């Protein structure tokens, strides 16, 4: 890794941090330590970095706001790449061109300011645009698949290419990018509609109040743990199994919303994973429903 660090500094790839606690970079506030964290300056530096990582057979991962990731407590013996500098936002009429590192919440409020409707669902999703495009983030019966027209990516061959909506194969919390993580989202083009600014604001405020009442936002979590199965709700199934308030270590099934697992007592990554596995198995045994986990486990191999 010393050679890798020397390369990053010599080639001026971008700011670099060593031995960073992943608790600071995930919304669950869990995880071990990552050897290296890099903030590439631009697309060329990012491609140069990835090529070198591949040549040296060093593992790496693109990290957004860590709002859908559960890192193990072990050392991440690789390089995490944050695209925070890829955060430019350009609005022209109803079309928004936005970098992968931009905040989805910030973008939704910028759309409100411009009187554009279609992004209201995203005003409470604490992730980056790149992460949202990757996993097809959504809420309130809408998702990124409805508004993303095209995405600029780095291909596995390290070429820059445009993928269009039809190429992205958007489904419920799924996409071509999620199925092919060797592609890296750099930028997205989002198409909205003109709307009534007052009505957009009212809808966003109403939903914000609803979230505050119904979700345990005062604790570290990563939102909904399981996808809602067809015709049912994961939270209801978990609650019906008597699991509200069930605890493993510092992780607890929220009593406010059973599809949230919260870190309310200095939980470890193992606590969170073990609790997710326990809830999944209990629900399957009691109801026969095989709940699908929305969140991603990293560094558990």
Q: Give the whole-angstrom CA distance, residue 108 versus residue 112.
A: 6
Residue 205: CB partners within 8 Å, gap ≥ 6?
A: none
Q: Give the whole-angstrom CA distance, residue 98 versus residue 57.
A: 31
Q: Is 21 a catalytic residue?
A: no
Q: Give the whole-angstrom CA distance, residue 191 versus residue 195.
A: 13
Q: Give the whole-angstrom CA distance, residue 284 versus residue 292.
A: 11
Q: Is 150 a catalytic residue?
A: no
Q: Give the whole-angstrom CA distance, residue 301 versus residue 291.
A: 22
Q: Are 97 and 89 in contact (CB under 8 A)?
A: yes
Q: Give the whole-angstrom CA distance, residue 299 versus residue 74.
A: 7
The single residue of 72, 175, 224, 254 carrying the catalytic annotation is 224
The single residue of 120, 150, 187, 294 carrying the catalytic annotation is 294
The single residue of 120, 173, 221, 254 carrying the catalytic annotation is 173
Q: Are 172 and 230 in contact (CB under 8 A)?
A: no
Q: Is 224 a catalytic residue?
A: yes
Q: Give one DSSP letter per residue of 242-287, joined into a string.
A: T-TT-EETTEEE-SS-TTBEEE-S---HHHHHHHHHHHHHHHHHHH
Catalytic positions: 173, 224, 294
């Amino acid at each position: 890794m010393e050679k890798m660090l020397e390369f990053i500094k010599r080639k001026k790839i971008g700011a670099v941090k060593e031995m960073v606690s992943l608790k600071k970079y995930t919304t669950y506030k869990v995880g071990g330590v990552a050897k290296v964290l890099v903030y590439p300056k631009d697309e060329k530096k990012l491609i140069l970095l990835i090529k070198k990582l591949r040549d040296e057979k060093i593992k790496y991962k693109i990290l957004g706001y860590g709002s859908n990731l559960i890192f193990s407590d072990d050392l991440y013996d690789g390089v995490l790449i944050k695209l925070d500098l890829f955060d430019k936002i350009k609005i022209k009429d109803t079309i928004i061109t936005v970098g992968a590192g931009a905040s989805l919440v910030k973008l939704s409020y910028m759309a409100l300011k411009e009187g554009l409707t279609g992004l209201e669902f995203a005003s409470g999703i604490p992730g980056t645009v790149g992460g949202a495009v990757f996993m097809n983030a959504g809420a309130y019966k809408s998702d990124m698949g409805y508004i993303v027209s095209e995405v600029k990516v780095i291909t596995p061959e390290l070429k820059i290419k445009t993928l269009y909506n039809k190429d992205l194969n958007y489904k419920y919390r799924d996409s071509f990018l999620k199925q092919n993580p060797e592609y890296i989202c750099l930028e997205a083009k989002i198409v909205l509609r003109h709307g009534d600014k007052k009505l957009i604001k009212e809808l966003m405020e109403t939903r914000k109040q609803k979230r505050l009442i119904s979700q345990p936002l005062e604790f570290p979590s990563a939102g909904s743990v399981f996808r809602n199965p067809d015709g049912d709700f994961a939270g209801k199934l978990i609650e019906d199994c008597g699991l509200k308030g069930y605890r493993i270590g510092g992780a607890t099934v929220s009593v406010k919303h059973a599809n949230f697992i919260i870190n309310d007592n200095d939980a470890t990554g193992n606590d969170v994973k073990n609790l997710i596995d326990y809830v999944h198995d209990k629900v399957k045994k009691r109801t026969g429903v095989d709940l699908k986990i929305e969140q991603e486990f990293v560094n558990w191999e």
